[in-house]
Amino acid sequence: MDEEVVLDLNQIRAVRVLGRGAMASVFLVSAAPGSRLPTLFALKVFDKQSAAKPHALRRARWELSLLSRLSAAPGDHHHPFLPSLLGSVETPDLLAWAIPFCPGGDLHALRRSLSPSNEEAFSADAIRFYLSEIVTALAHLHSMRVAYRDLKPENVLLRSSGHIMLADFDLSRHLPARSTTHSSLPPPLPSDNHSHAPRRKLTRVFSFGAADDQIKKGRSARVSPASRRRTSSSSISKSREGSGGDDERSFSFVWTEEHSNAAANVPRLAAHRSH
């Protein structure tokens, strides 16, 4: 985005509520004729007065700053599977920002509409297509040293073209330069009070196994703190070796060359996506 637009709340009109979360509400909004904004867009509104959590405003500002970074590419060269910042506004009562509207809804809603009885709704090719685009989006975030940390079908929106757009970045985190592996999981549990004791870093992995299962069958995987502490690259390798085949294998993995391979396969997989 070449120049960030300062939203004029008097020149936009809320059409309907798209969703409500713990931190903010999202509205479908229409812009006044002649505006630089699209005719319809999504407006995420953070109410400063009703924020229940102490760090909520800081997280909202972080999400806004990250969207601004994602939109910093000149012209229309922002990442196709990540949102662009269309504009923002802050008042004493609220902080709001505009992103593209995705008329296809989210992957969770799509799966439910195709299979209300929790049967598998997507073909293997469709699942590969969506997960490949997710991998591509996460790869770009990681190149910016950002861990997404909130991967679930509800946060995978669908544009009118059928391609994805990741949403909701308030739980994301900037990765320090010394980090060599990344995660969409919550951060490791803090160490004990011996501040000078050696600290062993937990291996950070992507939770694609959970996302894969949710997209296919709508099941939400539960990860206990004990399981999280046991997670390692070797256990991920074993889960691959013990899988029942390519269609059913876990998509949990440490960042490796597989990311590049999956990203390169997106155009080919798109041709096989189910309609």
Tell me the binding residues for ATP. Answer: 44
Residue 150 appears among annotated catalytic residues: yes
Write down the catalytic residue from 47, 93, 125, 150: 150
Residue the block writes with tokens 């694609």: 208
Pairwise CA distance, residues 57 & 51, whole Å: 8
- The DSSP letter of residue 195 is T
CA distances to 50, 90, 147, 226, 227 from 181, in Å? 36, 35, 10, 20, 18
Contact indicator for 162, 271 with CB cutoff of 8 Å: no
Which string of DSSP letters, residue by residue, matches 208-233? HHHHHHHHHH-PPP---HHHHHH--H
CA distances to 79, 157, 181 from 72, in Å? 10, 21, 25
Tell me the pairing of strands 94-99 and 40-47. antiparallel
Q: Which tokens in the block code for residue 21?
A: 């979360």
Pairwise CA distance, residues 106 & 115, whole Å: 14
Q: Which helix (H) or strand (E) holds 42?
A: strand 40-47
Q: Binding site residues, as ranges? A: 44
Nearest CA to 67 among 48, 103, 41?
Answer: 41
Helix (H, G, I), strand (E, B) or coil at 10: helix
Pairwise CA distance, residues 132 & 18, whole Å: 26
44 forms beta bridges with 26, 97
Residue the block writes with tokens 């073909």: 123
Q: Which residue numbers are catalytic?
A: 150
